[in-house]
Structure 1
């Protein structure tokens, strides 16, 4: 572990956010998210990490960076977006977009107001890992925020 990493580990906040692991050339090799940056990032630098991926990645980590977010949900969304943009080597799970779905916000009432899209389009949010979970969220949103068609009289 470099002195630069040791210094940054000491100042990590107890807040949700996104962390980036960088190699010796400053290239981002891994992006992750956490409810508590301090606990999660420090878990990469223990004697016996829980994950095999950490053992393979640790020798390449020469620096780290992080972004504090207001919520864990915001961290999840930011992580997905950054992985799609940067495509870090060790983020194998999210490199391929075809396994993900997006929440599309439309204008057609009532069925197309919220729908699932297979690819990023205009007015889409995501990506999300599970189509079935996203459909459950859409049903939940429709129950919480019912949208009624209003007849206009002129």
Structure 2
């Protein structure tokens, strides 16, 4: 992990990763992820930042901690773990958590989405948002009929 002050943004890596924005007391305000950490984190300090709540949060940031990752998928995984453990005040959920259930033992094997883990099969996820998860599961079902 790398810890920087907001005036040291140029030192951020350009690779994928997760990041935490902390206030002056070390409290975690926000957890995020990016395909390119440097450009994503710098965007919080850009003139184009228009959301009032976000501007208020950014004014409180005194430290940025980044966890570089090997891929965007790994960054998303790190972010999810951090969000579950830390529950930062400026993060908000944007959808329902959905799992993908794969039933290899049925004839024919099946791929389905579910909200509850009691559906049969091996579960993958949870993923955020019903529509994108359903679209991905449908695509998998077409590829692997």
**TM-score by structure 1 length?**
0.72
Over the residues paired in the alignment, what is the CA RMSD in angstroms? 2.8
Structure 1: 4+ residue segments shifted above 4 A: 110-113, 119-123
1:23 to partner: Cα distance? 1.6
Distance 1:23 1:123, change over 3 A: farther
Query: Is the radius of gyration larger for structure 1 or structure 2?
Result: 1
- List alignment gaps of at least 5 residues for structure 1: 147-154
Indicate the structure with greater strand content. 2
Indicate the structure with greater helix content. 1
Query: What is the aligned partner in structure 1 of residue 75 from structure 2?
Result: 75
Once the two structures are superposed, what CA deviation does each residue of 1:8-64 show, in whole Å capped at 9, x if it has no partner?
Answer: x12111112211101222221101111211111011123452332321201221111
1:73 to partner: Cα distance? 3.0
Query: What is the aligned partner in structure 2 of residue 34 from structure 1?
Result: 34
Distance 1:10 1:110, change over 3 A: farther
Query: What is the aligned partner in structure 2 of residue 109 from structure 1?
Result: 106
- List alignment gaps of at least 5 residues for structure 2: none
Once the two structures are superposed, what CA deviation does each residue of 1:48-84 show, in whole Å capped at 9, x if it has no partner?
Answer: 5233232120122111111122222332333233212
Distance 1:135 1:110, change over 3 A: farther
**Matched residue count:** 140
